[in-house]
A and B are shown apart, each in its own frame.
Chain A
Amino acid sequence: MTRPPTPADIAWNILTAAAEQYPDSPRATNWLAACVARLGEPIRIAVAGGVAAGKSALVNSVAGELIAPIEVGAGTGVCAWYRDGAEPAAAVCPPGGPPRPVPVARRDRRLHIDLRHWEAHQVARVLVDWPARGLRDLVLIDTPAAVDADWLAGQCDAVVYATPEPTADDLDLLRSTMDLGWPAAQVTTIMALSRADELGAGRIDALTSAKQIARRRRADPAVHAVCHNVIAVAGLLAATGRTLREDEFAALGALARTPKAELDAVLLSADRFVSADEPRVPMSRPARMELLDRFGVFGIRLASTLIRRGANTHATLAAQLVQRSGINELRESIGRYFLARADVLRARSALRGLGMVLRAEPRPAAAALAAEAEQAMIGTHDFAELRLLSSLQCGRLTLPGGLAESAERLVGGHGVGVAERLGLETEAPEAELRAAVFDRLGQWRAQSESPLLSTRQRAAARTVVRSCEGLLTDLAPTPAYN
């Protein structure tokens, strides 16, 4: 049985054919070659957001390493690409020039690159290779605050958008990113409500509250229309938790051993905690300052409480901090929405590159290829699923009753695994899964011919039916072979 062509195959075929149309234009050929090369690279995920939105903390916590931010000159933010690499290495790419390697140092498990003698306009981006498990399947791009939608749509396959609170400007930016993509109006964003630890004056339950707010934002149609998911993340806590050091754990342990009332009094404010004449804290002032930088007031409060409640080993504390920070949910969402569909997202970005070549140097034969590409992509089921998902999210397509929820789940809106699509436990027995698939299949077959639905709704139902059929193949081998 021949395998149906994957989106990457389609994109590869079309881009190679397009390159043949431009034998005389080195610029177009190079560009298309870069697009083809991109098909084989890890998915590019940009971390974008406004000033002080917590982008670097998000990068650190996703990568699990202290690698961001990188600053040039007198502290100007710069676009930094983080890739997984065997050895730490870094290169500066000047605008329009080849990368120039720069020395990298690793101090206190933190990345140090000295770019003080570079001017901000001399640096288009910084490429960093860093051995990190968190970067294995993806390239993380830490963006400066003033990044435009065009750049996001052109350079990245997906976006994690950090903001303390989604404002109208944020939503506008994400909407235009969507419209610039190809095919247009495709959601490729996860929103992270960063700085969740600063809520409610740093109360110990701030994160619970932040998660509630995230849920509320997710239900907001305006927000839901531009992103797959909204997740509250305490970036600082997550990054610290993933890189917790033994000495820090020891210091926190010492703090936790001081009486609670005393500690509360000391932790009333950051000033009090670091003030010189504080006999109750068994630490030097610089050490306290560093601890505060790493954890924040909220982090210290939470960590000491956790230790007091029994997280008394380094590993458990780190795990608890990470688990509470919300970074796991973010990573899971990245996995579910981006990595699981990396093939489709990459193909989409690569084909957008073809669109740009066509705009710059129009050729009739290549234009026909673009039309072909579009057709092929529409015919691909992965794209059909993504498009249906986007339509459902934006509200361009409505389905009556609980059908919308069911359709969103079945086409992979909550994850592309079989159990996730069916809304069952991951460990559910195969028989149960199979029964569920048949159940859904019957239900949606009926919908696809239902006279009560509009043509578009029936088309959507047919897409769902195909997804269900795909699930059946995924469930093979059949019981007969078992």
Chain B
Amino acid sequence: MAPSWLAVLDDTISACTAHSRPDLAHRLQRRRARLLDPRLRVLVVGLLNQGKSQLINALLNAPVCAVGDDLTTTAPTVVQHAESPAAALVTDSGARNGNPAIAGPAERVAVPIDEVTRQVSRRAEPNMAGRVVRAEIGIPRKLLADGLVLIDTPAISGETSTLGRMLAGADQADAVVFASAATAELSTVELELLTRLAATCPNIIVALTKIDLVPRWRQVAERNLARLASQRVAATLIPCSATLRLAAAKHGDTTINAESGFPELVNCLQHQVAAKSDEIAPRTVGVVCGAAIGELADGLKTALSAPLATRTPDAETQLELAQRAMDELRRHTGRCQTVLGDQVADLASDVEHDLRERTRRILREVDRVFDDADPRVVWESFEQWLRDSLTDAAEANLGWLVQRCQWVADRVIASFPNDVADAPADALLERMADPAEHVGDLDEPRLDPFSAGQKIFTGLRGSYGGVLMFGLITSLAGLPLINPISLGAGAAFGGKSIKDESEARLKRRQGTAKATAQRHVDDFFLACGKESKDLTRQVQRILRDHITERAEDLAERIAAGSRLARQTAQAAAVEREQHRQRVATQLRSLVDLHRRAMTMAGQRLGGTPSSLELSA
């Protein structure tokens, strides 16, 4: 029967593949292969000079790992069981070719077992056989026979490369022995390392080494345990002394061996080998799968929360924008109407004034003409002139009116938010009546002529007085009433009367002509003024209607836009909701898987797992 942890692991791997995280899946696959391997790989790590190599040597009671006061171990050493002692160096041929970046095929060179420590620990010596990737040592030991594999590693320094290598190594190890000398408590650096290790490999043994040197190592151990607990690192702390263990082996002294703390470490390791499938594997799977699922869930949660952040502002902005556009439009329309009213009022008064000005000028001319000329003589030509002048005035006035109307239309339209290409008043203005129409026919006034009969009569009437006056005077002188003098005087008086009468008649005619012309011009002014006023009103009406129409048009457009936006937002919300539910379902299945992993691990770890609660 396949163990339950395998099922959880396989499920997690397929979940990783399903969520397109092949990297995670690949890592878990490799982990799976390692977990199915009955051997127990134990990584021995620690900072510089914490006694890692000596720990292995003391465990096996054989100098398999190089030990020194300075940085000694430069490449990992893998120690495993073999029937007879054997050693080999694995080198990277790529490095030999001068390019360490390209990892060439690994070469395995067998070396004598006495040589291997020297080979691994050689320092600045130039690489004769490429870079040593690792050393492999096999020795016959009962401890190793069950499948325990010990891996000695170079010291972890602050550099990221060694740290990365250590974590990569821990990823492929079943258990980690973290060596920390009892001469000092666990430092911050060490605690951080342990926390990171616990995330990849949950089976940690903290070996408190060198307890033979420190009288108060028990206090150090206690404080270390407290620190581990405060960092929530689940680890077993085993105090040990390699010196005592080696001394015990030398003298065959079991008491010293017991004091060295190594029997406990050996027991612990042996127990872990035996319980690999039952204890180690589930716990590892629990943590590793928990972390992987946490990573997946984080991705999902980001996907879940990301649109949430943008949705609300989107629709709201749309609505707000529409609202603002509406307000703007209303304000503009109002302003347009006011502008239009003002402009049209100005225009009407201006045009009227202009027309009046023009007609007055004509009337003045008429007065001037008829002050001298005899209407009877000039009437024909005068009538023509008046007609022409009035037509000109009407044309000029109406032309100006049209210009002004157009200008007003342009102003009004320009003050409108959206540009309106067509000028609505143009058509009307083109339809405008011919200005000459307003100039009606001029009625010829009654200009009674001074006929010959009238002249004779007037002459006779005037001469009568003269003849009589002078006849009487000369009769005094004895002359008859009718005499040459009186006749002469009568002739002179008659002539004078005719002249006076003729002038009076001219004056009368001129007055009549002026009055006629005046009346005519007034008629014209009325007709023309009416026409231009009508025109102005019509233009105003057209423009007003136009503005209203445009405003309605725009309002409709804005409303349609916001309606569309609302619809889109609603559709998006629906889609998001669906997506959210989809993600939530996925998340729920992940949470299920996570719970299985956790139950199987038989423990709850702080950090990522607890944060894996459904936010929905």
Contacts and interface: CB of A to CB of B under 8 A. Distances in A.
- The answer to whether A and B interact is yes
Interface of A: 50-52, 164-165, 167-169, 195, 198-202, 206, 209-210, 212-213, 216, 268-274, 289, 292-293, 296-298
Contacts of B69: 199-200, 206, 209-210, 212-213
A270 B215 contact: yes
B242 A201 contact: yes
B217 interface: yes
Contacts of A198: 181, 183, 210, 213
Given A165-B49, A270-B215, A201 B210 contact: yes
Contacts of A199: 49, 69
A269 B49 contact: no
B459 interface: no
Given A52-B184, A200-B69, A209-B69, A270 B213 contact: yes
Contacts of B211: 269-271
Interface in B178-234: 181, 183-185, 187, 189, 210-215, 217
B184 A270 contact: no
Interface residues of B, number: 30
Interface in B16-59: 48-49, 51, 54
A458 B34 CA distance: 64
A199 B48 CA distance: 11
Contacts of B210: 198, 201
Contacts of B259: 269, 271-272
B463 interface: no
Interface string B47-83: 0110100100000000000001110000000000000
Interface of B: 48-49, 51, 54, 68-70, 157-159, 181, 183-185, 187, 189, 210-215, 217, 241-244, 247, 256, 259
B213 A51 contact: no
B214 A270 contact: yes
A274 B243 CA distance: 17
A358 B591 CA distance: 61
Nearest to A296: B213
A298 B213 contact: yes
Given A201-B210, A268-B256, 20 more contacts: A50-B187, A51-B185, A167-B157, A167-B158, A198-B181, A201-B51, A201-B242, A202-B243, A206-B69, A213-B69, A213-B70, A216-B70, A268-B247, A269-B213, A269-B259, A270-B215, A273-B215, A297-B212, A297-B213, A298-B213
A167 B71 CA distance: 13
A304 to B, nearest CB: 16
A271 B184 contact: no
A201 B70 contact: no
Q: Top 8 closest A-B pairs, CB basis?
A: A269-B212, A168-B158, A270-B215, A209-B69, A52-B184, A199-B69, A201-B243, A292-B215
A442 to B, nearest CB: 37
Contact of A270 (B157, B189, B212): B212
Contact of A268 (B181, B185, B189, B244): B244
A298 to B, nearest CB: 7
Contacts of B159: 168
B51 to A, nearest CB: 7
A51 B227 CA distance: 15
B157 A268 contact: no
B392 to A, nearest CB: 83
A268 B184 contact: no
Nearest to B212: A269
A169 B158 contact: yes
B215 A289 contact: yes
Contacts of A209: 69
A202 B213 contact: yes
A168 B159 CA distance: 8
A195 B183 contact: yes
B56 to A, nearest CB: 14
A420 B591 CA distance: 74
Contacts of A213: 69-70
B158 A269 contact: no
Nearest to A195: B183
Nearest to A168: B158
Contacts of A297: 212-213, 215
A267 to B, nearest CB: 9
Contacts of B241: 269
B212 A268 contact: yes
A297 to B, nearest CB: 5
A201 B70 CA distance: 12
Contacts of B243: 201-202, 268-269
A52 B190 CA distance: 14
Nearest to A267: B212
Contacts of A216: 70
Contact of B215 (A165, A167, A271): A271
A102 B69 CA distance: 44
A50 B184 CA distance: 11
B346 to A, nearest CB: 66
B212 A201 contact: yes
Q: Which of A268, A289, A298 has the most CB of B within 10 A?
A: A268
Given A167-B157, A200-B69, A51 B187 contact: yes
A270 B217 contact: yes
A50 B188 CA distance: 11
Nearest to A291: B215
8 contacts: A52-B185, A169-B158, A201-B212, A201-B243, A270-B211, A271-B212, A272-B259, A292-B215
Nearest to A269: B212
A199 to B, nearest CB: 5
A174 B261 CA distance: 40
A206 B210 CA distance: 14
Contacts of A169: 158
Contacts of B213: 198, 201-202, 269-270, 296-298
Nearest to B181: A198
A444 to B, nearest CB: 33
B313 to A, nearest CB: 44
A272 B189 CA distance: 32
A237 B187 CA distance: 24
A292 B187 CA distance: 24
B603 to A, nearest CB: 31
B217 A168 contact: no
A155 B217 CA distance: 36
A480 B545 CA distance: 123
Contacts of A51: 184-185, 187
Contacts of B185: 51-52
Q: Which of B158, B187, B215 has the most CB of A within 10 A?
A: B215
Nearest to A200: B69
A220 to B, nearest CB: 11
Contacts of B158: 167-169
A173 to B, nearest CB: 12
A310 to B, nearest CB: 26
Nearest to A264: B247
Nearest to B260: A269
Nearest to B216: A270
A200 to B, nearest CB: 5
